């Protein structure tokens, strides 16, 4: 390649179709509509993307965090990207790639080295997570050590507590991380099913302390978001597993939705349904260390249709009140007014404002995508009533790794 040609090289932002779980987050986040999709792939418009990196942090798998060096005049087209099953091999060695301005390089390097980095930050005292130890080509093989229904037999949703044992394979995780599950079989196009993510529900030292295992909280998907009957591929596969079955696992993923480790740090947790998984992991971590008297508060807002539908309802009620302040929001209890988590947050406005004011408080929101707006509005109202400005506080919380949202 001549020197003239090499000056025409630019980096093209691409999405890895093998890792992408098609969750639509990047397309929703992109402020300039540079991301689109068809029935098969999510892709980036070369002529629109300005490398603002707003999509990097929210991507749950890091699939968005990819690029290739291309000639400026001949980037990969949208049709090229729609047709991919995997990213093309890099054709230009790293050393030859620098036609960008220094600013570009700094931005790109930050994106490329930070996994889900971008603008989201973990708490300053979070432990360092391991990421992507097992890839699609070489997944870890876990053994099902248990599969228990944790919603009442009569409840409309079947939510399961699954314990996966990794035997002699190293699979270190932190509370707040997720793993990818590869369901066997192929999709309607004859391709292997894409991976699905599940939050880890157990603390870093295992579902059973000292064992090389972890737990998941999985809801069997039997209806799509419009309420039409459907058999969710991976959730049904997981919910039907029996003790002793083998499961292909990739990951772990997630380097920002992590808990602080410094004494005196407090957690303000808001979740619905299976969004309780990371909250369970973090709460259990704190419960196991309760004798250390490290200080800090735990406050939980947990929404479900009714008590019978609430995963871990029984165990939650047994937690000591000095460990955690629990606020349930039930939306479908007969003869009771419908309550959402944001309603409960408002009812506890004083305590919530006190926590938001404390620079040792870290906020976690997980579960239904729909609750994001309601929770944001509740925090805004509480701030207004208590002499705080949510518009100023929220960017500060994000900047300091103190505000974490994972919805799906």
Asked if 222 touches ligand A2P (CB under 6 A), the answer is no
Q: By C-beta, is 147 or 217 nearer to ligand A2P?
A: 217
Q: What are phi and psi of 236, to 5 degrees?
A: -70, -40
Asked if 264 touches ligand A2P (CB under 6 A), the answer is no
Q: By C-beta, is 191 or 231 nearer to ligand A2P?
A: 231
Is 253 marked active-site? no
- Could you say which of ligand A2P, ligand FAD, none residue 305 binds, taking C-beta under 5 to 8 angstroms by partner kind? ligand A2P
Rule CB under 6 A: choose which of 202, 272, 283, 407 binds ligand A2P. Answer: 272
Is 175 marked active-site? no
Part in contact with ligand A2P (CB under 6 A); list of ranges 57-65, 162-170, 300-308, 345-353: 300-308
- Could you say which of ligand FAD, ligand A2P, none residue 303 binds, taking C-beta under 5 to 8 angstroms by partner kind? ligand A2P
Is 312 marked active-site? no
Q: Are 379 and 408 in contact (CB under 8 A)?
A: no
Asked if 230 touches ligand A2P (CB under 6 A), the answer is no
- Could you say which of ligand FAD, ligand A2P, none residue 297 binds, taking C-beta under 5 to 8 angstroms by partner kind? none
Q: By C-beta, is 179 or 382 nearer to ligand FAD?
A: 179
Q: What are phi and psi of 365, to 5 degrees?
A: -130, 125
Exposed e or buried b for every residue in 356-393, given b needs 16+ CB within 10 A? bebebbbbbbbbbbebeebbeebbbebbeeeebebeeb
What minimum distance in Å lies between the beta carbon of 375 and ligand FAD?
17
Q: Catalytic one among 42, 134, 198, 403?
A: 198
- Could you say which of ligand A2P, ligand FAD, none residue 66 binds, taking C-beta under 5 to 8 angstroms by partner kind? none
What minimum distance in Å lies between the beta carbon of 363 and ligand A2P?
16
What minimum distance in Å lies between the beta carbon of 385 and ligand FAD?
32
Q: For the window 112-151, what string marks contact with ligand A2P as x by the rule CB under 6 A? A: ----------------------------------------
Q: By C-beta, is 67 or 340 nearer to ligand A2P?
A: 340
Rule CB under 6 A: choose which of 191, 262, 289, 332 binds ligand A2P. Answer: 332
Q: Catalytic one among 157, 178, 199, 266?
A: 199
Q: Are 274 and 217 in contact (CB under 8 A)?
A: yes
- Could you say which of ligand A2P, ligand FAD, none residue 182 binds, taking C-beta under 5 to 8 angstroms by partner kind? none
Closest CA to 99 of 11, 212, 218, 204: 11
- Could you say which of ligand A2P, ligand FAD, none residue 60 binds, taking C-beta under 5 to 8 angstroms by partner kind? ligand FAD
Q: Are 312 and 346 in contact (CB under 8 A)?
A: no
Q: Which residues bind ligand FAD (CB under 6 A)?
A: 23, 60, 178, 196-199, 217-219, 221, 224-225, 230, 232-236, 274, 277, 406, 408
CA distances, 60 to each of 180, 267, 378 (Å): 10, 21, 25
Asked if 312 touches ligand A2P (CB under 6 A), the answer is no
- Could you say which of ligand FAD, ligand A2P, none residue 340 binds, taking C-beta under 5 to 8 angstroms by partner kind? ligand A2P
Q: By C-beta, is 26 or 382 nearer to ligand FAD?
A: 26
Structure tokens belonging to residue 27? 């397309």
Q: For the window 351-370, what string marks contact with ligand A2P as x by the rule CB under 6 A? A: -----------------x-x
Residues designated as active site: 198-199, 366, 406, 408
Binding region for ligand A2P (CB under 6 A): 157, 272-273, 303-305, 309, 331-332, 340-342, 368, 370-371, 374
């Amino acid at each position: 390649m001549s020197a003239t040609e090499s000056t025409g090289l630019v980096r093209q932002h691409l999405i890895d179709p093998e890792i992408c779980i098609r969750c639509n987050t990047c397309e929703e986040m992109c402020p300039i509509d540079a991301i689109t999709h068809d029935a098969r792939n999510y892709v980036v418009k070369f002529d629109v993307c300005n490398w603002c990196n707003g999509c990097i942090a929210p991507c749950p798998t890091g699939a968005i965090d990819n690029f290739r060096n291309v000639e400026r005049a001949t980037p990969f087209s949208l049709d090229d990207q729609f047709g991919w099953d995997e990213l093309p091999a890099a054709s230009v060695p790293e050393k030859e790639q620098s036609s960008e301005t220094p600013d570009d390089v700094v931005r790109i390097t930050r994106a490329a080295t930070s996994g889900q980095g971008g603008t989201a930050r973990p708490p300053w005292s979070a432990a360092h997570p391991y990421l992507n130890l097992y890839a699609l080509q070489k997944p870890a093989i876990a053994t099902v050590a248990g599969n228990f229904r944790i919603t009442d037999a009569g409840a409309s949703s079947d939510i399961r507590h699954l314990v996966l044992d990794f035997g002699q394979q190293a699979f270190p995780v932190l509370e707040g991380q997720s793993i990818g599950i590869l369901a066997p079989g192929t999709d309607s196009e004859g391709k292997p099913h894409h991976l699905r993510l599940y939050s880890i529900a157990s603390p870093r030292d295992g579902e059973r302390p000292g064992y090389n295992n972890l737990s998941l909280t999985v809801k069997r998907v039997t209806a799509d978001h419009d309420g039409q009957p459907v058999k969710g591929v991976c959730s049904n596969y997981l919910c039907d597993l029996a003790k002793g079955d083998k499961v292909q696992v990739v990951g772990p993923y997630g380097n920002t939705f992590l808990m602080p480790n410094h004494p005196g740090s407090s957690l303000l947790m808001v979740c619905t349904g299976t969004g309780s998984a990371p909250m369970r992991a973090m709460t259990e971590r704190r419960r196991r260390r309760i004798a250390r008297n490290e200080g800090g508060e735990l406050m939980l807002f947990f929404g479900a249709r009714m008590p019978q539908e609430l995963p871990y309802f029984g165990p939650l009620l047994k937690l000591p009140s000095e460990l955690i302040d629990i606020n349930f929001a039930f939306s479908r209890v007969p003869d009771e007014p419908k309550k959402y988590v944001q309603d409960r947050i408002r009812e506890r406005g004083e305590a919530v404002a006190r926590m938001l004011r404390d620079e040792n408080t870290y906020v976690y929101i997980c579960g239904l995508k729909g609750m994001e707006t309601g929770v944001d509005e509740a925090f805004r109202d509480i701030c207004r009533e208590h002499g705080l400005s949510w518009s100023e506080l929220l960017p500060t919380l994000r900047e300091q790794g103190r505000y974490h949202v994972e919805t799906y």
